[in-house]
Amino acid sequence: MDIREIKWQQALPLRHQVLWPQKSPEFCKVNGDENAKHYGAYIEGVLVSVASVYIEEATTKQQNKGARLRKFATLAPHQGRGIGTALITFILNQLKQDDVAFFWCDARKTAVGFYQRFDMQVQGNEFDKSGVLYFKMQVQLNQILLCTIV
Q: Any idea which fold 2-143 has?
A: Aminopeptidase (3.40.630)
- State the pairing for strand pair 66-74/132-140: unpaired
Encode the chain (150 residues) as per-residue pLDDT tens digits: 999 999 999 999 999 999 889 988 888 898 999 999 999 999 999 999 999 999 987 655 545 789 999 999 999 999 999 999 999 999 999 998 888 989 999 999 999 999 999 999 999 999 998 888 999 999 998 777 665 544
CA distance 58 to 82: 32
Sequence spans of domains, the chain:
2-143
For residues 106 and 129, the answer to whether their CB atoms sit within 8 Å is yes
CA distance 96 to 10: 25
